[in-house]
Amino acid sequence: MKIFYLGILAVLWLTGCASHVHQLVREDGVPFIAGELVHDSGEGNRLVLEAPNRRYQARGFAVERQTNLADLRKRYYGVNPKHWDRIFSGLDTDHVTLAVETVARDNDGVEVSCRFVWISGAKPEGVCTDQAGAEFLVRFD
């Protein structure tokens, strides 16, 4: 029985520490041909964007988690108090918004500034801006 519980504990520990990996979705008019966003691993967070002649990378950036409790309280407190209790206690993460803001650099020091926002369970998307000021919509799967 002890081995059974240790096995369950190991599975929960491994899945709780797993990073989320998203692959870039290629779009027309966007200079990036490949890339990935890895998050929820703290210092291991990374963004890689590949253009035909450059590879941009950012590492160790923060992923901000926000929940608008005031708005959710108005929506759920009186109507669905059990749901509100789960949201307030942190057990219901469906209402968490994630945000990343980072600067990716290539080996020559050329920078691309990126901002991504998404709801927990959804796919990240946002805007990257090159040094000339051109903005590109970037989406991940």
Q: Write down the pLDDT at residue 6.
A: 45
Output the pTM of the full model: 0.74
Q: Confidence class of residue 92 from pLDDT cuts 50, 70 and 90? A: confident
Q: Write down the pLDDT at residue 90.
A: 76
47 pairs with which residues across the strands?
Answer: 37, 58
The Cα–Cα gap between 139 and 136 comes to: 10
pLDDT in tens, 70-87: 877 787 788 888 877 887
Helix 69-76 crosses helix 81-89 at what angle (to 10 degrees)? 160
Burial class for 132, CB neighbours closer than 10 Å (0-12, 13-18, 19+): exposed
pLDDT in tens, 36-57: 999 986 788 999 999 999 999 9
